[in-house]
Amino acid sequence: MHVLIIEDEERLAQNLAKAISKNAGFVVDVALEGNEGLHLALSGSFDLVVLDLMLPGISGEELLTELRRAGNKTPVLVLTAKEDKQTIVGVLDNGADDYLAKPFDLGELLARVKALIRRSKGQASSSLVLADLILDMNTRSATRAEVRVELTPMEYRTLEYLMLRQGSVVSKEELLEHLYDYNWEKFSNVIEVYISALRRKIDASAHERLIHTLRGHGYMLRRSEAG
Amino acid sequence: MRSIRGRVVLLVLAAQLVAAVGAVGLSIWYVHRAVWSSVDSELKARMVSVLALVDDDVKSPDGLTFDGDQVNIPKEDLFCIDDVHGGPVAGSSSWLTTNKDRGQHEDGAFFFRRGGVIYRAKAHMNAAILDQENHQIPQLYVNVYYAMPANRAEAEIANATRIAISVGLLSLLISFGSTWWAVGKGMRPLTDFAHQADLIEADGAQFEDPTGTVRSTELVPLARALHSLVSRLQRAFRRERRFLSDAAHELKTAVAIQKSTLQLLEQGKASEEELREGIARALEDTSRTENLVANMLLLASIDYFQRSTGKGAIDNEAPLGLNESLQHAIDQLVPMAKIKSVSVVFDSCCDLRVRAPEYELNQLWINLLENAIQHSPLGGEVKVEISRIEGSACRILIADAGPGISSEDLPHVFERFYRSDRSRSRLTGGFGLGLSIAKAVVEKNRGAIQIENMPQAGATVEVCLPAVDA
């Protein structure tokens, strides 16, 4: 998962980035200024935007309006020191998905971040299920046929993303965008490496294949057709 | 009585009462006089008609005769005729026998009571009897008494009195009602004001300018004063509220940073090195918060000083050398200047002294110099210059070679929590209070401060403070 934090307090942004990458295993990018934040958010490769309202450049409210006007559907969690009802209603009406008042609890922030991402991918539970493959987003662990599957953090992230988007084709580029930050070499073949590792750990010893490759299009997690 | 309405009504009623009593008394007296004078002339007429029936007796020289058959008077009337020696000649039988009612023996009118009836009576002593045949000079005299019941006249007087009193009372009632109503109506704008003033919320809800809607000219000054008071309060309140909300925002953000730094340490397992690093960060965050609170308290204390003691109290401050004060601040900022390779050039015309608290003056220079260094380009130069200007004032110029201030920010730089370039000033630990504090300190110490862009480059802050004469 790829999260964008737009927050002008550098220290706060750093702390949030650290907490989200450490505890949720998401990739985090930080923008310290409104215009830069908007530019990044419009690229569309983020699964969630954490947005402060008081920003240099353009304000959080303006940024949100611009983002939604451009048709971007990325979930937005607003952080604000303003706690009045008017502000809260305003940002939610303006296209925000949730808000958190400063000073907030990091644990709560993480839970909301995870819940918003889950919801935006059409999942209600933090436990993702496909046939006998179960992925627990809280403990960040996977089991296949009730046997725990040992995954490296990158393998887990890849599997989590595919599980959240199960049933639809996910291109290699999409995976790269959502699993790595901007500095990553996008033309590397890391994705192939992780997919083959996941295949070995999940599908090799099972009777039903779940990871499918659609040549030239990407990957898809789904049950094999009967027979 | 405390109500204006009550007092006015009472006053009007008292005046009205005096007038009414006078008018009613006068009219009763007049009616009284008129009624009795008409009764008396009637009495006189009837008496004359009775007297005409008396004639001299041809049989005896001193004898009198009375032609009783001819008496034609109302039967309730009484009369009595005596000769001058007191011997009865004629009269109503009952009255003749009892002497006491006509007790007096002189001319005039009088009252008496008889059988429960009050009579008005008239006596005429030594009335001359004219000889009927030859109208000679009278030789015979009699005393005549005539009385008639006074009840009709008295009823008439009582009636008139009743009417006069009722008219008086009615006029009192009318003036009471109309005064009460008029004063109440006159006071209505006041109660309307009170009602409107009652609706004013501290946060400055609607209060319409009442000057135009007031109909009584006497109330216009009050309306104007009330409106100007409310607008002033509302302006002050808005200013305070904005400051409070900005301060709350800054404090919440500072706390959010501290909290997240600490919570980050709490989550998962951290090595000793990570913990140490985290504690150092938390301490850094804390000193930032401390700095913010100190700045806000300084501003608040200056505000409080300005409001409570006024501007005279700084005369008690010991004179401070400007050169030493500025040099001290420059020395404090050497490390910061070094990081940006900025050199501070200090030039002073002479040894000037000002009256101001040392701490405030130091804070003023620190804030202005910090600002100048922050906005200087790498390796730039900050010029500090002290000069004497006309009158007895010192001028301190602090100029940087930075990009200057955008025209859009220029009017706002002294506003509290205003940041022209938020991300940059945040990184250097600013809260947008530095220039506000500088302005507050300068103004408290009876000086003036302004900031402007230089034609070539950079911004210059000019501070003028009253100098102490050597």
Q: Which residues of B286-322 are buried (b: 16+ CB within 10 A; e: fewer)?
A: eebbeebeebbebbeebeebeeeeeeeebeebeebeb
Instruction: Give yes or no for A102 touching B (CB within 8 A).
Output: yes
Q: Is residue A34 within 8 Å of residue A80, measured between CB atoms?
A: no
**Would you say the C-alpha torsion A87, A89, A94, A99 has a positive or negative sign?**
positive
The mean pLDDT of chain B is 82
Q: How far is A198 from chain B (nearest CA, A)?
A: 26
Question: Which chain A residues are Cβ-neighbours of B271 within 8 angstroms?
Answer: none
Do A79 and A148 fall into the same domain?
Answer: no
Q: What is the ipTM of this complex?
A: 0.71
Instruction: Give yes or no for A81 touching B (CB within 8 A).
Output: yes
Q: What percent of chain B has pLDDT over 90?
A: 21
Q: What is the pairing mode between strands A141-144 and A147-149?
A: antiparallel
- Sequence-distant (≥ 6) Cβ neighbours of residue B246 within 8 angstroms: B416, B417
Question: Which chain A residues are Cβ-neighbours of B268 within 8 angstroms?
Answer: 22-23
- Chain B residues contacting A, CB < 8 Å? 245, 248-249, 252-253, 255-261, 263-264, 267-268, 281, 285, 419, 421-423, 426-427
Residue located via tokens 């007191």? B86
* Smallest CA–CA distance from A58 into chain B, residue: B422
Nearest CB to A54; choose among B249, B261, B427: B249
Picking from A57-66, B42-51, B132-141, which range would have the lowest pLDDT averaged per residue? B132-141
Last residue of a domain, one of A103, A120, A137: A120
Q: Is residue A3 within 8 Å of residue A29, measured between CB atoms?
A: yes
Q: How far apart are CA B141 and CA B128, in angstroms?
A: 5
Do A95 and A77 fall into the same domain?
Answer: yes
Question: Which chain A residues are Cβ-neighbours of B252 within 8 angstroms?
Answer: 81, 101-103
Nearest CB to A81; choose among B249, B281, B419: B249
Q: Is residue B436 within 8 Å of residue B299, measured between CB atoms?
A: yes
Interface A-B, measured as beta-carbon pairs within 8 A, has a size of 72
A19 and B256: CB-CB below 8 Å?
no
Instruction: Give yes or no for A120 touching B (CB within 8 A).
Output: no
Q: Is residue A72 within 8 Å of residue A44, measured between CB atoms?
A: yes
Do A76 and A103 fall into the same domain?
Answer: yes
Q: Is the pLDDT of residue B425 over 50?
A: no
Q: How confident is the model at residue B417 (pLDDT cuts 50, 70, 90)?
A: confident
pTM score over 0.95: no
Do A96 and A168 fall into the same domain?
Answer: no
Q: What is the DSSP letter of A204?
A: T
A56 and B423: CB-CB below 8 Å?
yes
CB atoms within 10 A of CB A145: 13
Per residue in B183-225, pLDDT (tens digit) is 888 788 777 777 777 777 655 555 666 666 666 777 778 778 8
- Sequence-distant (≥ 6) Cβ neighbours of residue B305 within 8 angstroms: B313, B444
Q: Is residue A217 within 8 Å of residue A211, measured between CB atoms?
A: no
Q: Is residue B208 within 8 Å of residue B52, measured between CB atoms?
A: no
B256 and A107: CB-CB below 8 Å?
no
Q: How many CA atoms lie within 13 A of B361 on its CB side?
A: 25
| Stretch (H or E) spanning B88 | strand B88-91
Does A103 sit behind a cis peptide bond, omega within 30 degrees of 0 on the bond before it?
yes
Instruction: Give yes or no for A55 touching B (CB within 8 A).
Output: yes
Do A175 and A218 fall into the same domain?
Answer: yes
Q: How far is A124 from chain B (nearest CA, A)?
A: 26
> Which CATH number goes with the domain that contains A23?
3.40.50.2300
A19 and B260: CB-CB below 8 Å?
yes
Q: Is residue A97 within 8 Å of residue A69, measured between CB atoms?
A: no
Task: List the Cα angle B208/B209/B212 in 5-degree steps.
Answer: 125
Full residue range of the structural domain in which residue A152 is found: 127-226
B253 and A33: CB-CB below 8 Å?
no
A103 and B267: CB-CB below 8 Å?
no
Residue A47 identity (one-letter amino acid): D
Q: What is the count of structural domains for chain A? A: 2
Do A109 and A208 fall into the same domain?
Answer: no
The number of residues making up chain A comes to 227
Output the DSSP codes for B112-151.
Answer: EEETTEEEEEEEEEEEEEPPTTT-----EEEEEEEEEE-H
Question: Which chain A residues are Cβ-neighbours of B255 within 8 angstroms?
Answer: 102-103
Q: Is the pLDDT of residue B428 over 60?
A: no
> Which CATH number goes with the domain that contains A196?
1.10.10.10
Last residue of a domain, one of A100, A120, A140: A120
Do A6 and A112 fall into the same domain?
Answer: yes
Candidates A50, A41, A47, A56; CA nearest to A26 is A47
Do A28 and A110 fall into the same domain?
Answer: yes
CB atoms within 10 A of CB B244: 10
B256 and A81: CB-CB below 8 Å?
yes
Q: How far apart are CA B127 and CA B89, in angstroms?
A: 13
Strand partners, B78: B147
CB atoms within 10 A of CB B405: 19
Q: What is the pLDDT of residue B104?
A: 57
Q: How far apart are CA B347 and CA B352, in angstroms?
A: 13
Task: List the Cα angle B54/B57/B62 in 5-degree steps.
Answer: 100
Do A18 and A53 fall into the same domain?
Answer: yes
Provide the phi-psi class of B446: left if phi over 0, else alpha when psi is between -120 and 50, else beta. left
- Sequence-distant (≥ 6) Cβ neighbours of residue B1 within 8 angstroms: B7, B10
A9 and B261: CB-CB below 8 Å?
no
Q: How far apart are CA B443 and CA B187, in angstroms?
A: 45
Q: Is residue B339 within 8 Å of residue B299, measured between CB atoms?
A: no
* Smallest CA–CA distance from A33 into chain B, residue: B423
Do A8 and A115 fall into the same domain?
Answer: yes
Structure-token pair, residue A8 = 């002008």
Do A96 and A136 fall into the same domain?
Answer: no
Question: Which chain A residues are Cβ-neighbours of B248 within 8 angstroms?
Answer: 81
Nearest CB to B253; choose among A15, A33, A81: A81
A9 and B257: CB-CB below 8 Å?
yes
Q: How far apart are CA B38 and CA B30, in angstroms?
A: 12
pLDDT in tens, chain A (227 residues): 899 999 988 889 999 999 998 888 888 999 998 899 999 999 878 999 999 988 888 889 999 999 999 999 999 999 988 778 888 999 999 999 999 998 899 889 999 999 999 888 888 888 888 888 999 988 889 999 888 999 998 899 899 999 988 888 998 888 888 887 766 565 667 888 889 999 999 888 888 889 999 888 899 999 887 54
Strand partners, A170: A219
Question: Which chain B residues are Cβ-neighbours of A9 within 8 angstroms?
Answer: 253, 256-257, 426
Do A112 and A8 fall into the same domain?
Answer: yes
Q: Is residue B367 within 8 Å of residue B432, measured between CB atoms?
A: no
B260 and A15: CB-CB below 8 Å?
yes
Instruction: Give yes or no for A131 touching B (CB within 8 A).
Output: no
* Helix ranges, B340-467 (H): 358-374, 422-427, 434-444
Question: Which chain A residues are Cβ-neighbours of B263 within 8 angstroms?
Answer: 19, 105-107
Last residue of a domain, one of A120, A150, A165: A120
